[in-house]
Structure 1
Amino acid sequence: MRVKRYVVNALPEAVSMIKNELGKDAVILNTKEIKVGGFMGMFRKKKMEVIAAIESNPSKPAAKQLPQQQPHAPRMNAAIEQLIQGAQMASTAVLEAPETDKQPPKKEALEREQYIIDEIRDLRQMMVRMASGSSAEAAMTEALGDLKRRLEEQEMDVQWRERLIQTILDKQMEGKTEFTREQVWELASEQIGIWLQPFAGHGISTEARVVHFVGPTGVGKTTTIAKLAAEQTIKQGRKVGFITSDTYRIAAVDQLRTYANILNVPLEVVFSPMDLPKAFGQLTGCELIYMDTAGRNFRSELHVSEVNSLLQSNEPSETVLVLSMTGKTKDMADVAEHFRKYGVSKVLFTKLDETSVYGAIFNLVMCYELYPTYLASGQTVPDDIDLFDIDTYIQLLLGSKSR
């Protein structure tokens, strides 16, 4: 038997050292608190001494198969349980000692034993996590590895990525089989579809007369408004009006006015919330009003609150957050979080043709409970925009089943 002593700050620190140096079958024999260093017996630091061991001639490992459990976990857990019981017995002995014997040293001993118990419990929890992780790693097939890499490339949030992989792993372990790549992709598509289903089918409400579009600068709000307006006027035959408050960006008003002239749609320009009643009065004959707002640094809540003051209306209305797929996921999440505070729950994604990474859509939908309405790509009005469809999106996210 090979025995080794470790001196660490806390028990969990020794686990990785033991695993790396002695192997996964090592067991902890003993642990205790010691004091090291200092000067002339003073200023000594508390450390933990951990004694671990492993058999010198371990048995030959069995043939590789989908693991039911990791053998080293029960052995390590048994050793941990023994240590906890020993520490608890020592604590009980101190508590049951006669009153006259309970001097400060005994109190310190009790505190020390409790500290050891807490440390060992932390170690046990860590070992459970490690054992679970080892099982998942061992059961990871080539197809699952490909899926994991695909999800990482798509920047799917780690919590959802791990949940998806674990869901497929559980089904694989339950069936005691190894799924093909096509089966893995089908299971992943099915699970993602289940997660997204509650958020699908929520386009822009047909009951809303006023629709506000908000979002950072450069995400394509104005072009998106033109695409939707063209669909409503040309295909649906509805009377549409435009309002713009985007007076910060050079030529922003001219851009929307150009679209308004092409579509024969009236346009009103507002500079403050006080101008809104007059603008709505000029558009009383319109069945639907699209309002374009200025793009600002919406990672700042101050700018979000400023825009929110323009979104007040006595008419049936709703607000759609417009985000570009060329933006950073973290920045989009910050913007979404700020607007979510003001009740904005619908989102429209643009510039899908300028990226090959689509995980941000899933992340924002699942983490912020945003309802995707449309996916836009390209500059062609009115063609380059479609209602959000789960199957189409999943195909973009996961790519081809075959290589």
Structure 2
Amino acid sequence: MINETFVASDPKSAYEQAVEKYGTDIKIVSAKQVKYNDDELRSEVVIAVPKALFMERSFGAQALLPEVNGEEEGLLNEIGDLKTQLDEMRDGLLQQGRFGAVADDVKKRFMKKGIAERWLDSILIPLIGTPVMEDAQLLVSYLLEEIDETLKIKEEDMESSKIMMLVGPTGVGKTTTIAKLAARYAYLLDRPYRVALINLDSYKVGAIEQLAHYADIMQIEHYSIASAEAFQEKIEDLASYDVILVDTAGMSPYDTQKFIKTVEFVTTEIPKKIEVALVLAATVKYEDMEDIHENFSFLNLDSVIISKFDETKHFGTLMNFMLLYDLPMSYFSTGQEVPDDLLVASKEYLLEQFIGDVHEG
């Protein structure tokens, strides 16, 4: 990795210079204010980039060509190494951490709880040189306020009829969540809505029977569909219903066949738009987040339903998912009881869980 320093009147502008040159795939080494010859404060942001990218953007694409002779290549390497050494010397002389001791400690605490470094850096850089960075309690409060501002909620709207399709990885609780939603819409709101259930899961053993069992108890229409054509016909038959809830097969993010099949259903030509809700477990692992979003985002997600709140006390990774991927939350599933363990999503509820986890840290 090669370090490069960007200087501007404020840290945000310096960071934007780095992004303009290298893109967002950069790592911040340090960000601080220093005095220059004119005795005015300047903001310095030091970033680290892969050596090949540094050579290409600094010396042109020819710096990466195999035709470069050994003497030229050696010179380029020496220049890069010298620049790295100078930046390391500067960091040693300036004596401070990336953001200062207090802010670095707060940042480390949030990262330990699952919040991505790149999101934290985007919030902290504009604060360099302000009193907030020297007060741990104030900085924690500021970060929590930024989290609150960033989180999005999809309000429950029953003004018009809708089709809601639930998708998600295997084992996140889609079928149980469908049953909770059906009970809510049919019995628990200001008036009883006419609800129908459609099952598209022909893969999981017992999936059809499980949803049919819930439907029988609630006296709600239930249908099992195997093809996109049959799905289109059934949607047309159910045009008079207020809510149609669609259960899909649980999918590994790597199961191409099931994804293609689900896309066929989502893109079916029907009069109404299908609201696609990703069911995501509160227990999601950091390593799986990117794969889940990368694959399921092709279904044009409208919201996220978070399940399994009762199976963890650590919500940082889930919070990180919601911050990075800019998706609104619609419902929280907090247990196995139908229909009791279902809440309309709220920022306050998720923040309460996360704040408790941060304070424990």
- Contact kept? 1:151, 1:398, Cα under 8 Å: no
Q: Equivalent residue of 1:374, what SS?
A: strand
The verdict on how the C-alpha distance between 1:208 and 1:155 changes in structure 2, with shifts beyond 3 A counting, is farther
Q: Equivalent residue of 1:309, what SS?
A: helix
- 2:188 aligns to what? 235
Q: TM-score, normalised by structure 2?
A: 0.70
The one of 218, 224, 246 equivalent to 2:177 is 224
- Contact kept? 1:323, 1:348, Cα under 8 Å: yes
Q: Which letter maps to 1:292? A: D
Q: 5+ unaligned residues in a row in structure 2: which ranges?
A: 4-31, 37-68
Per the TM alignment, residue 254 of structure 1 is displaced from its structure 2 partner at its CA by: 1.4
CA distance in 1, matches of 2:218, 2:196: 10
Mapping of 1:189-208 within 5 angstroms?
A: 189-196=144-151, 199-203=152-156, 207=160
CA distance in 2, matches of 1:288, 1:322: 18
Q: Equivalent residue of 1:310, what SS?
A: helix
Per the TM alignment, residue 130 of structure 1 is displaced from its structure 2 partner at its CA by: 6.5
Greater Cα offset, 291-300 or 119-128: 119-128
- 1:140 aligns to what? 101
Per the TM alignment, residue 135 of structure 1 is displaced from its structure 2 partner at its CA by: 2.1
- Contact kept? 1:249, 1:294, Cα under 8 Å: yes
Mapping of 1:65-214 within 5 angstroms?
A: 116-125=78-87, 134-136=95-97, 139-141=100-102, 145=105, 147-164=106-123, 170=128, 173-175=129-131, 178-179=134-135, 181=137, 183-196=138-151, 199-203=152-156, 207=160, 209-214=162-167
CA distance in 2, matches of 1:221, 1:11: 46
- 1:31 aligns to what? none
- Contact kept? 1:213, 1:320, Cα under 8 Å: yes
The one of 273, 277, 280 equivalent to 1:323 is 280
- Contact kept? 1:323, 1:332, Cα under 8 Å: no
Q: TM-score, normalised by structure 1?
A: 0.63
Greater Cα offset, 237-246 or 206-215: 206-215
Q: 5+ unaligned residues in a row in structure 1: which ranges?
A: 1-9, 13-66, 72-106
Q: Equivalent residue of 2:135, what SS?
A: coil
- Contact kept? 1:301, 1:338, Cα under 8 Å: no
- Contact kept? 1:144, 1:165, Cα under 8 Å: no
The verdict on how the C-alpha distance between 1:393 and 1:295 changes in structure 2, with shifts beyond 3 A counting, is same
Per the TM alignment, residue 379 of structure 1 is displaced from its structure 2 partner at its CA by: 1.1
Give deviations 1:58-111, integer Å, cap 9, x for gaps: xxxxxxxxx97599xxxxxxxxxxxxxxxxxxxxxxxxxxxxxxxxxxx99998
Per the TM alignment, residue 221 of structure 1 is displaced from its structure 2 partner at its CA by: 0.5
The verdict on how the C-alpha distance between 1:273 and 1:188 changes in structure 2, with shifts beyond 3 A counting, is same
- 1:335 aligns to what? 292
Give deviations 1:24-67, integer Å, cap 9, x for gaps: xxxxxxxxxxxxxxxxxxxxxxxxxxxxxxxxxxxxxxxxxxx9
The one of 265, 288, 310 equivalent to 2:265 is 310
- Contact kept? 2:263, 2:299, Cα under 8 Å: yes
Q: Equivalent residue of 2:182, what SS?
A: helix
Q: Which letter maps to 2:352? A: Q
Per the TM alignment, residue 336 of structure 1 is displaced from its structure 2 partner at its CA by: 1.6
Per the TM alignment, residue 238 of structure 1 is displaced from its structure 2 partner at its CA by: 0.6
CA distance in 1, matches of 2:92, 2:153: 37
Per the TM alignment, residue 160 of structure 1 is displaced from its structure 2 partner at its CA by: 1.9
- Contact kept? 1:266, 1:283, Cα under 8 Å: no
Per the TM alignment, residue 131 of structure 1 is displaced from its structure 2 partner at its CA by: 6.7
The one of 377, 387, 390 equivalent to 2:347 is 390
- 1:97 aligns to what? none
Per the TM alignment, residue 363 of structure 1 is displaced from its structure 2 partner at its CA by: 2.5
The verdict on how the C-alpha distance between 1:166 and 1:127 changes in structure 2, with shifts beyond 3 A counting, is farther
- Contact kept? 2:304, 2:328, Cα under 8 Å: yes
Between the two proteins, what is the percent identity of the paired residues? Answer: 25
Bigger Cα Rg: 1
The verdict on how the C-alpha distance between 1:360 and 1:202 changes in structure 2, with shifts beyond 3 A counting, is farther
Per the TM alignment, residue 139 of structure 1 is displaced from its structure 2 partner at its CA by: 3.1
CA distance in 2, matches of 1:277, 1:226: 22
The verdict on how the C-alpha distance between 1:202 and 1:260 changes in structure 2, with shifts beyond 3 A counting, is same
The verdict on how the C-alpha distance between 1:310 and 1:203 changes in structure 2, with shifts beyond 3 A counting, is same
Greater Cα offset, 254-263 or 307-316: 307-316
Per the TM alignment, residue 317 of structure 1 is displaced from its structure 2 partner at its CA by: 1.9
CA distance in 2, matches of 1:108, 1:150: 47
Q: Which letter maps to 1:253? A: I
- Contact kept? 1:219, 1:324, Cα under 8 Å: yes
Mapping of 1:241-320 within 5 angstroms?
A: 241-311=196-266, 312-314=268-270, 315-320=272-277
Q: Equivalent residue of 2:96, what SS?
A: helix
Q: Which letter maps to 1:286? A: Y
- 2:10 aligns to what? none
